[in-house]
Chain A
């Protein structure tokens, strides 16, 4: 029982460590936005 719990905890810690490394080197699951927002002006509102 204790070995199972310990194994589960080690797996979680390993996953957190890997995720932290990816985040530290700038790889996240949020993609870059390839554009931007601008105000809707007069010509757009005709």
Chain B
């Protein structure tokens, strides 16, 4: 089988590596506009990697396409893959782009292909954790996702912009608009991240989670940020973003009812965000290749995979999933 990975950044290069080491994929086509970056990646991935840099060949022969290009450039890749009826896995978390992609859902359904949106750390693994936590409840009332840390420079840029744009939370049957960088909440992540101040941001998590959990009354998504992050968010990034951030984490809290009583479920993962995102995207791509995705059309991971089996899969790939246990799960 042959997979195509668009983007050779912190996530894309790792997706290519994981797909080649998984045994299912024979060849990976890796596309990027940066020839130096491609050359650097290809040195460590061997002859089964085919690199293509701009201007790209018109045809792309692949059984699945993983889109790991910077935010704002993923939509054309999805349109192209839909035109060729190829399954697509996207890793972006930008709000506007995800909403634009969801408008293509009827086309994906008509074409009979699966398009997985936001198959990264959060959204992505966070959606699967929400789906898994929901199995412990009879009725899900609230879902609150928090994320700490960023992946590569493209991810850092998306988070920087997200803190200054309008964030959308789902609350009591409608979308609540709030400024990014507002709504401070102290969120406890698994160690070593620990407690972090988190704020609203214009990210795609609530949109994908509402798609998967239309019955939930309150869905929020927050990212950790410092005072400097919030102060400088409306400005262009003053310093070039890091090549890759340090450790990050996600935390998914579900509130609901079980047996008539109120219950909270809190799940979390600590990992470098780019590593976790690549692990999730590679696993999703292999699920697409083996026909294990639950449905055709377009949706987030919560609707596309069976959560227990998927969590087993990413656990075998090295991610450590944790659950919070206590009298009261602090937020």
| A and B associate in one complex | yes
The 6 closest A-B pairs by CB, nearest first: A35-B326, A40-B321, A37-B322, A37-B190, A34-B326, A34-B327
Q: Measuring CB to CB, which residues of chain B are less than 8 angstroms from any residue of chain A?
A: 132, 186, 188, 190-191, 195, 267-268, 308, 311-312, 315, 320-330
Tell me if A46 is interfacial: C-beta within 8 Å of chain B.
Answer: yes
Given A39-B320, A39-B321, 20 other A-B contacts at CB below 8 A?
A30-B186, A31-B186, A33-B195, A33-B326, A33-B330, A35-B325, A35-B328, A35-B329, A36-B325, A36-B326, A37-B268, A37-B324, A37-B325, A40-B315, A40-B321, A40-B322, A44-B323, A45-B308, A45-B311, A45-B315
B268 cross-chain contacts in A, Cβ below 8 A: 37
A6 at interface (Cβ–Cβ under 8 A)? Answer: no
Chain A residues in contact with chain B, CB under 8 A? 29-31, 33-40, 44-46
**16 A-B pairs whose Cβ atoms sit less than 8 Å apart in the complex:** A29-B186, A30-B195, A31-B186, A31-B330, A33-B195, A34-B330, A35-B324, A36-B325, A37-B191, A37-B268, A37-B325, A38-B325, A39-B322, A40-B315, A45-B132, A45-B312
Which residues of A lie under 8 Å from residue B195 when comparing CB positions? Answer: 30, 33
Q: How far is the CB of B247 from chain A (nearest CB, A)?
A: 14
> How far apart are the CA atoms of A35 and B323 in the complex, in Å?
11
Cα(A37)–Cα(B195), bound, Å = 13
Say yes or no: A40-B188 contact (C-beta < 8 A), given A34-B327, A35-B326. no
A35 in contact with B311 (CB, 8 Å): no
B329 contacts which chain A residues (CB < 8 A)? Answer: 35
Q: Which B residues touch A38, using CB under 8 A?
A: 322-323, 325
B328: chain A residues at CB < 8 Å are 34-35
Residues on B with C-beta less than 8 A from A39 are 320-323
Q: Please give the distance in Å from A41's CB to the nearest CB on chain B.
A: 9
B-side contacts of A31, CB under 8 Å: 186, 330
Q: Quick one: which of B186, B311, B326 contacts A40, CB cutoff 8 A?
A: B311
Distance between Cα atoms of A46 and B311 in the complex (Å): 10
- Residue among A35, A36, A37, A46 having the largest count of chain B Cβ atoms under 10 Å: A37
- Whether B191 lies near A35 (C-beta < 8 A) is no
Q: Given contacts A30-B195, A33-B330, are A40 and B267 in contact (CB under 8 A)?
A: yes
Closest to B308 in A: A45
A14 to B57, CA, bound (A): 66
- Give the Cβ gap from B231 to chain A, nearest Cβ, in Å: 18
Q: Give the nearest-CB partner of A31 in chain B.
A: B330
CA distance A36 to B312 in the complex (A): 22
Instruction: Check B322–A35 contact: CB distance below 8 A.
Output: no
**Residues of A contacting B326 with CB < 8 Å?**
33-36
In the bound complex, CA of A34 to CA of B324 (Å): 10
- Nearest-neighbor residue (CB-CB) of B307 within chain A: A45
Docked complex Cα distance between A40 and B268 (Å): 9
Q: Which residues of A contact B311 (CB under 8 A)?
A: 40, 45
CB distance B323 to A40 under 8 Å?
yes
Set of chain B residues within 8 Å of A37, measured between Cβ atoms: 190-191, 268, 322-325
CB <8 Å contact, A36 and B321: no
Give Cα distance in the complex from A40 to B267, angstroms: 9
Complex Cα gap A43–B330 (Å): 24
Q: Which residues of A contact B321 (CB under 8 A)?
A: 39-40
Residues of B close to A44: CB separation below 8 A: 323
What is the CB-to-nearest-CB distance from A35 to chain B, in angstroms, rounded to a whole number? 2
Which residues on A sit within 8 Å (CB–CB) of B188?
33
What is the bound-complex CA distance between A29 and B190, given in angstroms?
19
